[in-house]
Amino acid sequence: MEFNKSSIPNDISIKLEKQRHMILSPNNAEKVLKTIIAGTSFALLKLILKNYDSKAIIFKTPDDNFLLGAKFEYKNSDWNYTWSFYEDDFKNIESFIFDPDKDEFDSYHKYAKHHYGMVFERSVMIQLFSTVIQCIKDWLINEANNHDTANLSLDGVFEATAKKNTDESITLCLRFVASDWLLF
């Protein structure tokens, strides 16, 4: 299902208003999601260019629970860029917790301002990003529980899947799709 046709943009808006007393139009959910992905991509590039070692950025809830991570990893003479909903995928790599106040993470601010005229305070950005990621994760899990599989995409941005396993657990996968929208 296409991200903007799913209930997720509306879910984000409702959750932000109820739990965080923030207002975000469902029409702006895609902009925030693109800011998360583009900001992460540029921040990781900035981090690996310091010494060409593998690096990861981790997103956590405000109460410090793992949500999602992205990493540039050098393996077998090649760089791999992957995203994962599983904390174990980041155990053997230098990881940075998303913190919009640190210089390494200025790409989020720059991307949001340049492309959408959006400016966020630190606490707002952490709450906003964690809510968007949590809503996507919840939607995938709920859909997989109800239909055994779930597919979610934003054209030219990402593809996500969720599959219910025979033991009733859910396997989640997120794949970044490079596109021209990412350019500054």
| Residue 11 placed within a domain | yes
Of the pLDDT bands very low, low, confident and very high (cuts 50, 70, 90), residue 184 is very low
> How far is residue 142 from each of residues 29, 59, 111, 151, measured CA to CA in Å?
19, 21, 31, 12
Segment 2-51, tens digit of pLDDT: 999 999 999 999 999 998 899 999 999 999 999 999 999 999 999 998 88
Alpha carbons 176 and 81: distance in angstroms, whole number = 8
Residues of the domain holding 40 = 3-137
Number of domains in the chain: 1
Q: Is the pLDDT of residue 181 over 70?
A: no
Say whether pLDDT at 180 is over 80: no
Tell me the pLDDT tens digit for each residue of 119-171: 988 788 999 999 999 999 999 999 999 999 999 999 988 999 999 999 999 99
d(CA 31, CA 73): 27
Residue 85 counted as domain residue: yes
In a domain, 101, yes or no: yes
pLDDT at 182: 55
Cα end-to-end distance, the chain, whole Å = 28
- Whether residue 132 is contained in a domain is answered as yes
Domain contains 9? yes
Q: Residue 183: its pLDDT value, please? A: 55
Domain membership flag for residue 12? yes
Rounded to 10°, the helix 122-147/8-20 angle is 130
- pLDDT attached to residue 30: 96
